[in-house]
Structure 1
């Protein structure tokens, strides 16, 4: 039974979902790093919000951890690259609090435009300073959105509903999507120069950190206003303070800060700044949604292999998982076979999907091939870490798809190029479920791969099969099945033998087989 730790406060219904799915769950919130480190090795899954920090030290201690699920969007508190190296899937819930966060940004924009917090405080104090709080209308103003993804696109539609002109900067926003949303796609410098209100909705990365720095703020329209409900660190707070003091920027509404919890910040106390304590996702609906989603996603992954909203591996829906599972087994065998017979450094890998399999989601299949291929070379490699390991080692990975397949319903061909040569292995499914090897290096051979195999390249000479059987038998190894193929129809050419045996081949037996006349290569394989 998989075991999950919930280390941050989540809705009790999340625990109910884990239990209903047959997953053992412990709720231990408020753990200090050393406390988490001491117990994390017992868990397959970890469900968090923003309080738990999943660092390299924690991941090193998480010897059984397979998945981290973040109930929310940002994963700043998770070392995603290191999690990938450790083979841990990192998921988030990008849609559960999108509406709530977008609505908070709109609320902050209204509060900023009409100075509502300041007017509220003044009125509560009995001052009745009606003439002091002169706001501005939103209608007709230009709203500039930096980051037009899930949340940014919702803010865009709300802005359009307020009769604002909406412009957006997002490198991943396609022209077609911009037209569908009704926004104008612009470059960042154009947005900064034109917008009356700038709303940030981009993750915090090395490229976006300080996206509104002193230079960018100086190029904004005089009297512009800034809203940030995304991530602290997107704005240079010192530069913003200077621009507010000079009057170049009319105001700012901030839900996030460079350092959180933000109990001491240079922007606090300024009349032109509206602040909230990271409330973007703080509605009862959003908290319930993200908790339920992360519980379902972690459960699906641990029980069925379905991958949803992962940041470091291809997604596999619950519907796709059953269709992909037999192909993933085949891909693992193809990769493992090629990896075990490869003796020199890998240069490139080409995977060709032919027939019906080409219509499936092949990204996880490719990751599975790479896992199998690199497993003999690297310890603890899996679907998450294998593509990263291949990239880090300069191994070129190519994927092609062909709708037609000459002899089979589906065929997967793996071609591996090393420093010395190029080898290939092809496989298919029999009965849509049973993996079979059907070709090795251009030699047709139909074989089911068992737990222990003996792989041979030999010269096709009379008496060879008999001497091979005798040698294996003398070593006390029983043959379960025997598969033979040769390069051409004429005797005397090169042939391939795949022999399934009932146990591991002893080193002395392998040495004896290698010493037989006509043997070119002999390898003991395990699957």
Structure 2
């Protein structure tokens, strides 16, 4: 039976899924662990579940020969060395959809608060001032929302914004079908020039690093609001501070940062600290009880499907094979180097032993191939050992 280790206070819904599937060797940790303690905690584990603070680098992955699969109970997977996991035959799963609504609601809430100057008014009341002036305070109705990155979250933000009476425009590097009355803007500068509120929903990486910088900030409509709940690296913070100081922007809201604190008691270090027209939140876009429960279920179900059936649909670093009921007496999961003749080499082992293949699925991705083979008779350890000895084999497991 698989040993499962869950870190960082993953929602109990995940344990419920594993338990319902018949797994009882489950260890949970309330937080992340330092590297040495992490290695010790994961020894012998077949399944590990993490959130954003636990980093599984190549060194840790290489030292865990029993580990078969990794679950990121969040959207991002930057905390895992995906190439190393692939090279060791480990699929990595995440939850790209479960916190969509939570992030979208936060973005719209921040837009409303900043348009109404609520952060400043709130601070003034706490300081003993009763400023009832309407100066600089606006309704969301009739304003233009510019969405950069029209994926799962960006499109959801657009739908909610239209319900508030906002005009929605979006920019994406891929052609996307507009939802509702939203309009695509292939030219980013045109979107920036028209939007009263700009919200970012793009992935991390080199292609999006500092896409909001001195040049793009200068293209924004004067008095606009910038919201970033995507990745901390997509905004040049120094340039944003300069734009705020110069009065080019009305305000900003950030939920992610280039460098984030590692613990609850570590303060955020940012040039934006102390600005009354800036909302800073501690990476909580998806941190609602509803989203965490949904994430727990979504990722745990993917992990169970892999452990019980070899299904890799939705894996971020691995050939994707959909669920298929067991067609024979045994199922063998074989990960191999993606080389010509690999499948023939694999099947030669079955032929030599006069083993009948009932069903077989193959998919490749990059350097590896993944085969699910159902055979008519129960597999013996000698067969699995023979498959593991093949020069092409990365990993071989028997369900």
Partner of 1:269: 274
Q: Distance in 2 between matches of 1:144 and 1:332?
A: 44
| Distance apart, 1:390 and its partner CA | 6.1
Q: Is the contact made by 1:115 and 1:135 (CA closer than 8 Å) also made in structure 2?
A: yes
Give the alignment of 1:16-415 within 5 angstroms. 16-23=16-23, 24-30=25-31, 31-131=33-133, 134-174=136-176, 177-178=177-178, 180-187=179-186, 188-261=188-261, 263-317=268-322, 320-322=323-325, 335-338=342-345, 365-367=362-364, 387-389=365-367
Give secondary structure in 1 for the equivalent of 2:324: helix
TM-score by length of 1: 0.62
Q: Distance in 1 between matches of 2:333 and 2:269?
A: 57
Q: Distance in 1 between matches of 2:282 and 2:134?
A: 26
Deviation string 1:230-263 (CA, Å, 9 cap, x unpaired) is: 1211100000000111111221111111111252
Q: Distance in 2 between matches of 1:253 and 1:332?
A: 45
Q: Distance in 2 between matches of 1:330 and 1:268?
A: 52
| Distance apart, 1:309 and its partner CA | 2.7
Q: Is the contact made by 2:254 and 2:281 (CA closer than 8 Å) also made in structure 1?
A: yes
Give secondary structure in 2 for the equivalent of 1:136: coil
Q: Distance in 1 between matches of 2:19 and 2:325?
A: 23
Give the alignment of 1:467-482 within 5 angstroms. none
| Distance apart, 1:452 and its partner CA | 9.8
Give secondary structure in 1 for the equivalent of 2:206: coil
RMSD between aligned residues: 3.3
Q: Is the contact made by 1:331 and 1:366 (CA closer than 8 Å) also made in structure 2?
A: no
Q: Which has the higher strand share?
A: 1
Q: Distance in 1 between matches of 2:70 and 2:382?
A: 35
When Rg is computed on C-alpha atoms for both structures, the one with the higher figure is 1
Give secondary structure in 1 for the equivalent of 2:193: helix
| Distance apart, 1:44 and its partner CA | 1.0
Deviation string 1:479-507 (CA, Å, 9 cap, x unpaired) is: xxxxxxxxxxxxxxxxxxxxxxxxx9xxx
Deviation string 1:302-349 (CA, Å, 9 cap, x unpaired) is: 1121234311124444xx3227889x97999983434799xxxxxxxx
Give secondary structure in 1 for the equivalent of 2:203: coil
Q: Distance in 1 between matches of 2:105 and 2:200?
A: 13
Gap runs ≥5 in structure 1:
342-356, 368-386, 392-428, 436-449, 454-503, 505-527
Greater RCO (CA < 8 Å, at least 6 residues apart): 2
Partner of 1:488: none
Residues 10 and 39 (structure 1), Cα distance of their counterparts in 2 relative to 1, 3 Å cut: closer
Deviation string 1:78-119 (CA, Å, 9 cap, x unpaired) is: 222222222211111112111111101111111111111221
Q: Distance in 1 between matches of 2:382 and 2:318?
A: 30
TM-score by length of 2: 0.81
Moved over 4 A (4+): 323-326, 328-334, 338-341, 432-435, 450-453
**Matched residue count:** 361
Residues 10 and 213 (structure 1), Cα distance of their counterparts in 2 relative to 1, 3 Å cut: same
Q: Distance in 2 between matches of 1:389 and 1:316?
A: 16
Give secondary structure in 1 for the equivalent of 2:276: coil
Q: Is the contact made by 1:40 and 1:58 (CA closer than 8 Å) also made in structure 2?
A: no
Residues 325 and 267 (structure 1), Cα distance of their counterparts in 2 relative to 1, 3 Å cut: farther
Q: Is the contact made by 1:18 and 1:299 (CA closer than 8 Å) also made in structure 2?
A: yes
Give secondary structure in 1 for the equivalent of 2:107: helix
Residues 433 and 87 (structure 1), Cα distance of their counterparts in 2 relative to 1, 3 Å cut: closer
Q: Is the contact made by 2:87 and 2:368 (CA closer than 8 Å) also made in structure 1?
A: no
Q: Distance in 2 between matches of 1:97 and 1:160?
A: 20
